[in-house]
């Protein structure tokens, strides 16, 4: 070992201590994670594109699906999602400000900006939960055909969508939900709609101002409206009533749309949720003065990277789910 | 922990006095882009919905390009890639771009083929 001449580390390329990328170990690992996670999300979004291109002529139109704003009635496409996007970008901004304050070792500012970031994240997750609840509950209700296609209803006079309750008849039918306790467990009914197929069909026949709207998108980029005769003919294909959306049925159109909605926004929401949890942990560490004693606030920067990444993913989810 | 921030955006067109100011400037820009996206999404001008490029509406191309613009500013200024060494920046950015472009190409091509099978392939699925 005596023969080994060790001069200064700056001349010794392989002696360790080099930082060719100028970033610390922790930051590099965070970037590794972000790149791999970005590829996971890309996989999801591209498979969404795959299914959409497969059914390009019948895919649901997002403006007609996400039309609700909490505490307001009426048709407001996109406004609420735009608000959610803004909230997330805003919480990203407070995060950068926290990182910036950390670089300048201003503990109280870091605490405040982290706090605002956490609040923003919580509002976003809450909004997403509300969005899910609204989507699951459904809007107007629809019929599903033998081939699994969706038939929706439109009032011919106003041109507005018609809800099942607007025209369905209430017939004197006995209809009891089949519970698992009354039979074999695998025969249990999932959910029961407010009208039976027969009630919807009879109601449709009795109200001449209701037309059927199919999933097919026409030249104008709108769903095709059938004439009264075509509607009556199409009605014969109907197999069941669908209200709301779940992983099996979807009143808004293609079932894959609902599946991807739950999967992609769910996975993103899970990221936001874990981001909030990590932010809370770092928040308390800042309050306790951990990073003040450590001499630097790099940990805030690392969770910041993750938080911005969540925002970045949302920008893409917003475009491909709601805009395009 | 030396941190010099590059304070110019839009290729030096706009130079901020401090990092904090730059953050607010980028926020204003991102908000503007989102507002344009939502405005276009609600108005749907015929000029953009009637014209197609590579089989997709111009409007959708605009959305995708604006999204990439937003992604650029989030990554460059919020995730401060602008201040990182170019080797790190390129490793982070080009790896996903290369892989994802390939994935998009191959899956959308395949999807379009399946669409044509459904359409012309003597196969009935809409009944």
Question: pLDDT-derived band of residue B1, with 50, 70 and 90 as boundaries?
Answer: very low
Mutate to test the interface with A, among B59, B110, B111 (most CBs of A within 10 A): B111
Q: Dump pLDDT digits (tens) for B2-22.
A: 456 788 777 777 888 888 899
User: Is B34 within 8 Å of chain A by CB?
Assistant: yes
Whether A53 sits inside 8 A of B125 (CB atoms) is no
| Residues from chain A contacting residue B17 (CB–CB below 8 Å) | none
DSSP state of A194: S
Q: What is the pLDDT of residue A22?
A: 84
Do B20 and A149 count as a contact with CB atoms less than 8 A apart?
A: no
φ, ψ at B85 (rounded to 5°): -65, 150
Cβ contacts (< 8 Å) between B77 and chain A: which residues? 96
State the nearest Cα–Cα gap between B52 and chain A, in angstroms: 13
Q: How far is CA A209 from CA A75, A164, A186, A231, in A?
A: 22, 13, 41, 11
All residues of chain A having their beta carbon less than 8 Å from the beta carbon of residue B52 are none
Nearest CA in chain B to A62: B41
Cβ–Cβ below 8 Å for B96 and A35: yes
Res A174: pLDDT: 67
For residue A323, give the nearest of B23, B37, B104 by CB distance. B37
- Contact between chains at A315 and B125 (C-beta distance less than 8 A): no
Count Cβ–Cβ pairs < 8 Å, chain A vs chain B.
144
Which of A78, A96, A105 should one mutate to test binding to chain B, selecting the residue with the greatest count of B CBs within 10 A? A96
Nearest to B53 by CA among B61, B42, B44: B61
Structure tokens at B40: 């276009």
Q: What is the pLDDT along chain A (324 residues), one digit of tens a residue?
A: 445 555 555 566 777 777 888 888 999 999 999 999 999 999 999 999 999 999 998 999 988 888 888 888 878 888 899 999 999 999 999 999 999 999 999 999 999 999 999 999 999 999 999 999 999 999 899 999 988 899 999 998 888 889 998 888 888 876 667 777 777 766 666 667 888 888 899 999 999 999 999 998 888 888 989 999 999 999 999 988 999 999 999 999 999 999 999 999 999 999 999 999 999 999 999 999 999 999 999 999 999 999 999 999 999 999 999 988
Backbone phi, psi, residue A37, to 5°: -65, -35
Interchain contact, B37 vs A305, CB within 8 Å: no
Chain-chain contact of A147 with B127 (C-beta, under 8 angstroms):
yes
B83 contact A CB<8A: no
Q: Out of B23, B63, B66, whose CB is closest to A100?
A: B23
Closest-CA residue of chain B to A52? B111
Contacts of A276 (CB under 8 A, 6+ apart): A118, A121, A122, A125
> What 3 state SS string does chain B have?
CCCCCCCEECCCCEECCCHHHHHHHHHHHHHHHHHHHHHHHHHCCHHHHCCEECCEEHHHHHHHHHHHHHHHHHHHHHCCHHHCCHHHHHHHHHHHHHHHHHHHHHHHHHHHHHHHHHHHCCCCCCC
- Rounded to the nearest angstrom, the minimum Cα separation between B11 and chain A is 21
CB-CB under 8 Å, B103 with A49: no
pTM above 0.90, yes or no: no
């Amino acid at each position: 070992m005596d023969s080994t001449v060790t001069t200064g580390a700056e001349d010794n390329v392989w002696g360790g201590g080099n930082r060719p990328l100028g970033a610390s170990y922790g930051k590099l690992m965070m970037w590794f994670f972000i790149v791999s996670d970005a590829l996971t999300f890309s996989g999801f979004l591209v498979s969404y594109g795959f299914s959409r291109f497969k059914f390009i002529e019948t895919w649901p139109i997002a403006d007609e699906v996400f039309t609700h704003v909490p505490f307001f009635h009426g048709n407001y496409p996109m406004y609420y999602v735009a608000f959610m996007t803004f909230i997330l970008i805003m919480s990203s901004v407070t995060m950068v400000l926290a990182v910036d304050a950390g670089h300048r070792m201003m503990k109280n500012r870091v605490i405040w900006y982290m706090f605002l970031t956490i609040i923003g994240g919580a509002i976003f997750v809450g909004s997403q939960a509300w969005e899910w609840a609204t989507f699951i509950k459904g809007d107007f209700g629809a019929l599903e055909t033998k081939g699994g296609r969706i038939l929706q209803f439109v009032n011919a006079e106003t041109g507005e969508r018609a809800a099942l309750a607007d025209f369905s008849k209430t017939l004197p039918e006995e209809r009891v939900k089949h519970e698992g306790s009354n039979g074999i467990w695998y025969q249990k009914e999932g959910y029961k709609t407010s009208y039976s197929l027969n009630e919807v069909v009879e109601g449709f026949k009795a109200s001449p101002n209701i037309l059927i709207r199919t999933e097919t998108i026409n030249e104008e980029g709108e769903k095709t409206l059938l004439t009264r005769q075509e509607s009556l003919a199409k009605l014969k294909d109907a197999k069941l009533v669908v209200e709301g959306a779940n992983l099996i049925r979807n009143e808004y159109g293609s079932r894959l749309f609902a599946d991807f909605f739950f999967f992609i926004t769910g996975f993103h929401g899970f990221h936001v949720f874990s981001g909030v949890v990590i932010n809370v942990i770092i928040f308390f560490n800042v309050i306790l003065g951990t990073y003040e004693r450590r001499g630097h606030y790099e940990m805030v920067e690392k969770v910041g990277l993750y938080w911005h990444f969540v925002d970045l993913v949302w920008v893409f989810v917003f475009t491909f789910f709601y805009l395009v | 922990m030396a941190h010099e921030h590059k304070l110019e955006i839009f290729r030096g067109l706009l130079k901020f006095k401090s990092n904090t100011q730059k953050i607010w400037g980028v926020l204003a820009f991102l908000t503007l882009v989102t507002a344009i996206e939502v405005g276009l999404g609600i108005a749907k001008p015929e000029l953009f919905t009637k014209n197609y490029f590579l089989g997709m509406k111009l409007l959708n191309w605009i959305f995708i390009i604006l999204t990439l613009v937003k992604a650029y500013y989030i990554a460059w200024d919020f995730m401060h890639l602008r201040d990182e060494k170019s080797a790190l920046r390129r490793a982070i950015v080009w790896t996903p771009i290369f892989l994802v472009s390939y994935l998009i190409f191959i899956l959308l091509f395949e999807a379009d083929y399946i669409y044509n099978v459904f359409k012309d392939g003597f196969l009935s699925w809409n009944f």
